[in-house]
Amino acid sequence: MNDIPPSSVTGELLKRPRIALYPGTFDPITNGHIDIIERGLNLFDRIVVTIAVNVQKIPLFSLEERSTMIQECFKDSERVTVGSTEGLIVDYARQHSAQAIIRGLRAVSDFDYEFQLALMNRRLERTVETVFFMTGFRWIYISSSGIKNAARCGGNITGLVPEHVERALQEKFA
């Protein structure tokens, strides 16, 4: 049987490392985010967790604190790096030669916003695809705000965030 050689373009694409950005506010990173990153690592060679600016949010943790907390989660994985940008996600994707933007979907209610974000990003940069992962069932109901609210009121957040993030939240609200 004759094997059809890949075209030079396809061949080049196959040789390139598959890189994805995973943008968000990460204020703070939760086990739900980690679940998405782990799923992403099944498809991508590298993931750049990108702390980005959501103009509608005033973060509790500084950029440096959020970055350190994420780095701690992935200190044993060379395939996950942490970055930040105050600009457009698609520009940052281009700078990192990323072919994709990862987003997590928790419930149907996420879809409308995600759809708009993905289409806007595609409008801004056609070569970067948005890829959605379904969040693990255990994390469907969690959000950074929900966890911060619970921690602020002294609620038990064990198991929803990594231990070092739990400690950081307790220190913030001590």
Footprint (CB under 6 A) of ligand COA, residues 58-87 = none
Q: Which stretch binds ligand COA (CB under 6 A): 5-13, 18-26, 37-45, 60-68?
A: 18-26
**Rule CB under 6 A: is residue 54 a binding residue for ligand COA?**
yes
The residue among 46 and 51 lying less far from ligand COA, judged by its C-beta, is: 51
**Rule CB under 6 A: is residue 52 a binding residue for ligand COA?**
yes
**Rule CB under 6 A: is residue 95 a binding residue for ligand COA?**
no
User: How is residue 161 annotated by DSSP?
Assistant: B
Residue 96: count other Cβ atoms within 10 Å of its Cβ. Answer: 17
Q: How far is the CB of 11 from ligand COA (least distance, A)?
A: 32
**Rule CB under 6 A: is residue 119 a binding residue for ligand COA?**
no
Distances (CA, A) of 57 to 25, 26, 144, 145, 171: 8, 11, 12, 10, 21
Please choose, from the candidates 136, 156, 143, the residue with its C-alpha nearest in 3D space to the C-alpha of residue 29: 143
**Rule CB under 6 A: is residue 27 a binding residue for ligand COA?**
yes
Cis upstream peptide for 28 (omega within 30°): yes
